[in-house]
Every structure is written in C-alpha cells, then in structure tokens.
C-alpha cells in the first residue's frame, strides 16, 4: 500500500455525474429491462401489451362521451382533447407513482449486481415512454376519425372557447415538448426514488394526492370552461391551472398534438422546473447515492 | 490495472423499523423535543476498519463463521456498498455471484436471466447471443432454460450464474459460498473452468466453508470474525488457525492428487 489513504469520494459530484454517464451508456441494459417489465406485466394475457392501448381507448372514449355532454362540447373536438391530455397524464402519473418505487422495487438487483443507480431511473422512464408509444395508437385513431373538426382553423374545444389554429405541421413541436417532459421525468424519478427509499411514507403521500391532482389539472375540463363560466371575473380561479405545474407539463405536449395555440410561458415554466429539479436531484444524488443500497 | 483497495472501511447498516423509517418521526417529532435514543436509528456494524489491497493475480479465500461479515465484505469489494467510514476503490469489471435465490425476477426464463446477467456485466446483447449456446451447453440445463426461474432449484441457479460469469472473462470475480450447492459432477466441471478463468483473469475473492474448493482456487485467505479481519495470510496457515487443524488432513486422496502443483501447496 502507498501513502495515506485517500479521502472517500462517495459524496462527490464527480461520482454523481459518473453514475449518470455510466447509466446512460448501459442503454442495452435498461432498454432490455424496460421491455422485460412490459412483457412481464402482460405475461399470459391473450392481448399482451395491447391491453395498454385498449384500456386507454376505453377510458378516453368513456370520459370523452360523458364530459362532452356535461360541458356541452362538440364530441369531435372534445374527444381529441381528452385523449391527448390523458396520454400525457398517464406518462406523468406513471413516472410519479412508479418513480417512488424505482429503487424499492429493484432491491434484489441493487443488492446483488453492481450497477449505476441511473440504470433503474432510465428503466422506469423508458418503460413509461414505451407505454406512451402504445397509447399514441389511440391518439392516431382519434385524430383520424375527427380529422375534420380538429383541422378546422378557428375551432374551439368547447362552445365559445378560445379559437384554435387547428392541427398543422406544428404538431411536430410535440416531439421536443415530450423530450423536455421526459428529461423532467428523469429528475422526478431520481429524487422521489431516493427519498422514498429512505422514507417509506412518500409513496403513500404521492398515491393519495395523485387523484386530487388529476381532478385539479385541466385534463377532463379545460381552461376555456373556467373562462366561459366566470367571464372576466375569472380572477383567482385561473390560478388553479396556472399555479399547477402539471398543467404546464400537460399543455406543453397536448397543445401541438391537437392544434392548439401554444403559449410560450409553458416552455418557460417547464424549462425552469427542468433546471431547478435537476439541480435538486444532483444534490441529493451527490449526498445519498451511496446510501441507497443501504436503505433498500 | 485491476485492483481493489480498501482503507479503514466500515460498513454500518441503519435498521429502520416501521416507525423510524417514516416521515412521522421527522415531522411530528419536532413537537416536544427529542426523546433520548428514539431519535437515533439503531445501527448494525457489519464491518469494522477493513484495510485491504487486492491486486491482479490474487486469489483470496474468505473464511469465518456465519454472520462474520464475509458476504458484506464481498459486497463492499464489488462496489455495491460504499463504506460508511473510510474509503474504497475498485478498478476493473466486477462479476459477482452472490445469493442465488434472490435478485432476479422469478418469472423470467433462464435465457432471459442469462441475457440480463450478461448485460449487467457489461456485455452487449450481440455478445451474449453468441455465448448463449455455450452457456446452455455448460450448464446442461437444456429445455429448462425456457422455464421461469421460480421452477429452478438452488443448484440449477448456481449453474446458470456460474455459466454466465465463466463465459465472459471478468476481471474481478467475487463468489459467495452459495456455489457449493451444485452436485459433484458439475462442481468438477465448474472447477476446471474456474481455475482456468482465475489463471487468465485478474482476481478472485471466494467465500466458502469447503476446504477442498478453497485449496484449489485460492492462494491466500482472510479470516473474518465479527466484522473484523482476524487474520490474513497464506491459505494453509489461515485455515489451520481457523479450523484448529491442518486442512490437508481432511482432504481426500483424489483431491490431493489433483492439487499437485496447485497454488496452495507450491506456496508452502
């Protein structure tokens, strides 16, 4: 042995970044594990992963029919709105609820095979992305059916709502928008995953709040309805949507998908969340990365 | 350079019971001040003050009673546990074969298991696909490889795990005692492959209670006791001290013949 022992580098940013870098490099590993998860979940069922698509279709159709009646909306514009919203919501929901479980569920692997923590984060995010891809089939079908109403310039989601430019090539903006949301999913899973491993109440907190969040977020209702109902006196009620970060995440991807006017401020809000979230996640990663294998 | 260096490392496990593991204590505990020891998480000190330097070419046997810290030490050497005090540095590709009952999804097939283990050990899918036939041959599991893992016996799991690690030329091989679960015939086959592998690759640390396996695979040994390294030195000396008698008394003639020229003897 040589001179004095070096200081432990367990709690350094260098190791935190190395973990992320090495994890990203093991693309085949997390890609394989994520596919494995999907196949495993629908093992021995006749339709297999088609169930993902099917259940999304049923949900969107059912809720679309019901709420379009409740809100006096045209089914041709409201169903695409609900479908697109739901698809993005399911992705966020999956990342939040399964994110809290990321390391807990992988306890066996973490304790038996050395691998960067980020492998499990990427596994979760990639699995949710695969589910989203399955759900996009429903989006394509719905858009094909309601091609007319959705591409009409000046259509509105509900009667008297804000006129929208209609579906056009700007739909491609949904791709960078989704990439940004997925980047955010990365820090959410990492942060919530590590915190939940230490404090086992967090998954419970998340799952008990998630339903409330769903109804607070304009997914089955729209901001148009708020404005329509309260007119100029919308005031603080508008904040229900604006102060809800999930609204910005959903609207970022949903607006281009159904040809809605995209406000730049959603990009700003989501961009700010990306920076702050990753900064926080990296800090937690630096301090507690090496503790996860002790906590699981 | 393949090496593992550990300096004054300790591994302390926090034991959270249902109460302390929750936020309740943290949040509600603020009211009324701290209640003595309740605010502290009890700790199990699994390893104390380990200083160890393993270089390529080293073949170390780990001996000690159950609960002496052998498995924890192996996990420390693999990088799964980073020391809570002190420091550790692992250079090289690590291939661990630990408890075989857990770790893998019980519903996946043997083939999937081979693939996932291979990917974990840094292989690509293509490289693993090339090796699958070889591993299937070696493990003699045949059609069982398409069965879910939950149908496997412990010995069959060991076969699978050994098949994978011996097929990929790892630099650092860490074996836990579980590998003794295979039958004699397979053990002979695996031994040849392990000896061969150890010659080629860097470094082996092997926890075992079986003298003959230790004698064949290792040159030196560490005696673990209550989380400390009680003794480190040539295998024969350590085994003699640990068991209170020369390990060669108990070895069968057949093994002795095979051991001619084996590392443990030539060292003496």
DSSP letter string, chain A? --SSPPPP-TTSHHHHHHHHHHHHH-HHHHHHHHHHHHHHHTTT-SSTTHHHHHHHHHHHHHHHHHHHHHTT--HHHHHHHHHHHHHHHHHHHHHHHHHHTHHHHTHHHHHHS---THHHHHHHHHHHHHHHHHHHHHHHHHHHHTHHHHHSTTB-SSTT---B--SSGGGGGHHHHHHHHHHHHHHHHHHHHHHHHH-TTHHHHHHHHHHHHHHHSTTSS-HHHHHHHHGGGGTTHHHHHHT-HHHHHHHHHHHHHTTPPPPHHHHHHHHHHHHHHHHHHHHHHHHHGGGHHHH-
Residue contact A111–B8, C-beta within 8 A: no
Average pLDDT, chain A: 91
Measure CA B34 to chain center: 41
Q: Where are the domains of chain A?
A: 13-22+46-295
B80: chain A residues, CB-CB within 8 Å: 110-114, 293
What pLDDT shows up at residue B36? 40
Suggest the residue from A28, A39, A209 to mutate for an interface test with chain B (most B CBs closer than 10 A). Answer: A28
**Nearest by CB: A36 against B16, B79, B108:** B108
Which residues in chain A come in under a pLDDT of 70? 1-5, 234
At A136-193, the pLDDT tens digits run 999 999 999 999 888 888 888 887 788 888 898 999 999 999 999 999 999 999 999 9
User: Residue B215 — φ and ψ, nearest 5°?
Assistant: -60, -35
What pLDDT shows up at residue B21? 55
What pLDDT shows up at residue B268? 40
Could you tell me what percent of chain B has a pLDDT over 70? Answer: 83
Q: Tell me how far apart the alpha carbons of residues A258 and B36 are, in angstroms, rounded to a whole number.
A: 60
| pTM for the predicted model, two decimal places | 0.90
What pLDDT shows up at residue A95? 96
What pLDDT shows up at residue B32? 45
What pLDDT shows up at residue A211? 92
Under the banding of pLDDT at 50, 70 and 90, the label for residue B213 is: confident
Looking at chain B, how many residues does it have?
A: 268
> Nearest 10 degrees: CA dihedral of A166, A172, A174, A180?
-150
Under the banding of pLDDT at 50, 70 and 90, the label for residue B102 is: low
Residue contact B120–A293, C-beta within 8 A: no
Spell out which chain B residues touch chain A, with contact meaning CB-CB distance below 8 angstroms: 5, 7-8, 13-14, 16, 21-24, 26, 51, 53, 75, 78-84, 86-89, 94, 96, 98-99, 102-105, 107-108, 112, 115-117, 119-120, 122, 124-125
What pLDDT shows up at residue B57? 84
Distance from CA of B106 to the nearest CA of A (A): 11
**Nearest by CB: A108 against B81, B83, B102:** B102
What pLDDT shows up at residue A34? 95
A290: chain B residues, CB-CB within 8 Å: 82
A28: chain B residues, CB-CB within 8 Å: 119, 124-125
């Amino acid at each position: 042995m040589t001179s004095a022992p070096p200081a432990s580098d367990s709690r350094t940013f260098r190791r935190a970044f190395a973990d992320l870098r090495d994890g990203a490099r093991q693309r085949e590993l997390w890609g394989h594990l994520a596919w494995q998860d999907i196949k495993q979940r629908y093992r021995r069922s006749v339709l297999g992963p088609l169930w993902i698509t099917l259940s999304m279709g049923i949900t969107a159709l059912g809720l679309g029919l019901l709420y379009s009646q409740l809100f006096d909306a045209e089914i041709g514009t409201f169903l695409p709105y609900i479908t697109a919203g739901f698809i993005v919501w399911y992705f966020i929901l999956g990342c939040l609820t399964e994110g809290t479980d990321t390391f807990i569920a992988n306890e066996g692997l973490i304790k038996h095979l050395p691998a960067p923590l980020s492998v499990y984060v990427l596994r979760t995010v990639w699995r949710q992305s695969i589910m989203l891809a399955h759900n996009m089939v429903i989006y394509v079908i719905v858009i094909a059916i309601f091609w007319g109403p959705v591409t009409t310039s000046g259509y509105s989601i509900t009667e008297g709502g804000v006129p929208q430019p209609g579906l056009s090539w700007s739909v491609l903006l949904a791709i960078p928008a989704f990439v940004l949301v997925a980047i955010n999913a990365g820090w959410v899973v990492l942060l919530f995953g590590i915190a939940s491993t230490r404090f086992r109440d967090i998954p419970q907190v998340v799952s008990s709040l998630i339903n409330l969040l769903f109804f607070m977020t304009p997914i089955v209702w729209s901001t148009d309805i708020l404005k329509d109902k309260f007119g100029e006196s919308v005031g603080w009620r508008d904040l229900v949507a604006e102060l809800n970060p999930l609204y910005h995440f959903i609207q970022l991807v949903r607006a281009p998908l159904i040809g809605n006017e995209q406000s730049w401020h959603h990009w700003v809000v989501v961009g700010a969340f990306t920076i702050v979230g990753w900064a926080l996640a990296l800090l937690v990663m630096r301090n507690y990365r090496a503790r996860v294998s002790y906590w699981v | 350079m393949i090496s593992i260096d550990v300096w004054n490392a300790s591994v302390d496990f926090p034991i959270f019971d249902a109460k302390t593991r929750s936020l309740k204590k943290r949040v509600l505990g603020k009211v009324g001040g701290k209640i003595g020891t309740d605010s502290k998480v009890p700790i199990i000190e699994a390893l104390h003050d380990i200083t160890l330097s393993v270089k390529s070419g080293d073949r170390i046997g780990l001996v000690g009673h159950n609960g002496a810290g052998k498995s924890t030490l192996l996990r420390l050497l693999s990088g799964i546990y980073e020391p809570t005090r002190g420091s550790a540095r692992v250079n090289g590709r690590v291939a661990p074969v630990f408890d075989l009952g857990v770790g893998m999804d019980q519903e996946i097939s043997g083939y999937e298991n081979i693939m996932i283990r291979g990917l974990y050990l840094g292989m690509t899918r293509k490289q693993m696909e090339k090796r699958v036939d070889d591993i299937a041959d070696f493990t003699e599991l045949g059609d069982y490889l398409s069965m879910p893992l939950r149908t496997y016996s412990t010995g069959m799991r060991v076969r699978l795990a050994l098949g994978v690690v011996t097929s990929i030329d790892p630099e650092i091989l860490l074996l836990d005692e579980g590998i003794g679960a295979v039958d004699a015939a397979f053990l002979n086959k695996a031994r040849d492959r392990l000896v061969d592998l150890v010659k080629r690759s860097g470094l082996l640390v092997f926890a075992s209670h079986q003298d003959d396996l230790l004698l064949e695979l290792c040159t030196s040994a560490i005696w673990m006791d209550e989380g400390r390294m009680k003794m480190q030195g040539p295998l024969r000396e350590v085994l003699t001290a640990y068991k209170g008698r020369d390990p060669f008394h108990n070895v069968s003639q057949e093994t002795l013949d095979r051991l001619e020229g084996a590392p443990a003897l030539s060292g003496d």
